[in-house]
Amino acid sequence: MTQQQKQFGLFSIPVIVAALGYFVDIYDLLLFTIVREPSLKGLGIVLTDKVAVLAASAKIINWQMVGLLIGGILWGVIGDKKGRLSVLFGSIAMYSIANFVTGYIHTVDQYAWARFVAGIGLAGELGAGITLISELLPQNKRGVGTSLVAGVGLFGAVFAYFTFKLTGDWRLCYKIGGGLGVGLLLLRISVAESGMFQQTKQQDVQRGNFLMFLTKGARFKKYMLAILIGLPTWYVIGILVNYSNRFAKEFYGDNHIESGRAIMFAYVGIAFGDILIGLLSQYLQSRKKALFSFYGLTIVSLILFFSPFIQNDDKMYLVCGLLGFSTGFWAIFVTMGAEQFGTNLRATAATTIPNMVRGALPLINLLFLDIFQKSWGYSLTKSGIITGIIVMGIALLSAFFSEETFHKDLNYVEE
């Protein structure tokens, strides 16, 4: 353990600033989902024209997801080559500018381009923050530290929801996001660079080479397993919560479910879950045992979601919150990804892994919508159940074969 690691505690400046950074990141990441209909209406799209709304929504969100995938690799490489702080400054500057620009767009194409650039910027925040905290905090505190970062950060979704409810102005919400980013940039001036990274810079070793994940069988296996254990989170958010109004109609008929509100409840649950799983991991002295505990909660919540329990809007929102809580293992999932690899690849791993999971959502949607519903003619409920079984099965197997990293010394490099 280095001297630098001993100097930082759970409530030190790097942890606080990383948490606030993820707060702004989540605010911006989910803002389109929350203001989707009013923003499209503001661009002249008739909301009763479901085909036009779906086409515009899909284009904008897909461009944002492509930006996240590209940004994940870009910022990961920069983080290992130039330093963790380079990413924390560069990424937030990019998505802050993109948010200001989004507040002034007038066409769907402009919207898509602005969210593409924002997606690239948003991709760097969490991975670089988790990497920095993992390397600055001592081994016995890093799991709790990263969970606090994620737990506090995820309340950005709640802030985004209430910001729009209070202002009613989607353009102003994007401008506020840009302003939050500028404020965060000023806070980051006092944050220290990772000592492990500084040591690695002095060594003759490749840093930030993404292809290193693909050229060695054992390393590729670790990388793929690290991605697959995170799939249930985006199955829950991207399918069950996002389409909660459609599920509600199939479960009990007429409803007034708002997707934005359902997402807000889910993210409140995820935030509390992320904090709790860090403490549970600390208590059990194991990342994997904590992860499997939350997988168990996820399975119970999924059974409850598809059971006759949901008979009204209140129960749907309640179960969305429970689903969020049970999938609140995002922090541990990203931390495990960071801990799997040496200092010269750690930022690349921690930044690309969560964005690969986000990028897997179109594939999950392909199963859920195109194959099971359109091609095979299954109902929404049956498609959701089968997709959930597949996703949870993959995650459970991947977690079983993943390395336990709780006691791992991170001060090493990949050859």
- CATH number of 157's domain: 1.20.1250.20
Residue 32 forms part of a structural domain: yes
Percentages of the chain per state (helix, strand, coil), in multiples of 5 = 80, 0, 20
| Degrees, nearest 5: CA angle 19-124-390 | 90
Residue 409 forms part of a structural domain: no
**229-254 in b/e burial notation, b at 16+ Cβ within 10 A?**
bbbbbbbbbbbbbbbbbebbeebeee
The C-alpha atoms of residue 312 and residue 244 are separated, in whole angstroms, by 12
Residue 261 reports pLDDT greater than 70: yes
Residue 1 forms part of a structural domain: no
CA torsion 98-102-107-110 (nearest 10°) is: 0
344, 206 in Cβ contact below 8 A? yes
The C-alpha atoms of residue 286 and residue 26 are separated, in whole angstroms, by 27
Q: Among 38-47, 157-166, 293-302, 352-361, which range has the highest average pLDDT?
A: 293-302
Average pLDDT over residues 11-15: 82
The C-alpha atoms of residue 149 and residue 182 are separated, in whole angstroms, by 19
Identify the residue with better confidence: 92 or 266: 266
Residue 413 forms part of a structural domain: no
Closest CA relative to residue 232, chosen from 300, 182, 165, 181: 300
Supply the range of the domain harboring residue 133.
8-401
Q: Among 2-6, 156-160, 386-390, which range has the highest average pLDDT?
A: 386-390
User: What integer pLDDT is reported at residue 7 of this predicted model?
Assistant: 58
| pLDDT > 90: percent of the chain | 48
Position 1 confidence tier, pLDDT thresholds 50, 70, 90: very low
Residue 194 reports pLDDT greater than 70: no
Residue 6 reports pLDDT greater than 50: no
Mean per-residue pLDDT over the chain, rounded: 88
Residue 410 forms part of a structural domain: no
Residue 18 reports pLDDT greater than 90: no
Find where tokens 């802050």 sit: 96
User: What integer pLDDT is reported at residue 131 of this predicted model?
Assistant: 84
The C-alpha atoms of residue 63 and residue 60 are separated, in whole angstroms, by 5
- Tally the domains of the chain: 1
Residue 186 forms part of a structural domain: yes
Residue 12 forms part of a structural domain: yes
Position 201 confidence tier, pLDDT thresholds 50, 70, 90: low
Residue 337 reports pLDDT greater than 50: yes
Residue 406 reports pLDDT greater than 70: yes
Residue 296 forms part of a structural domain: yes
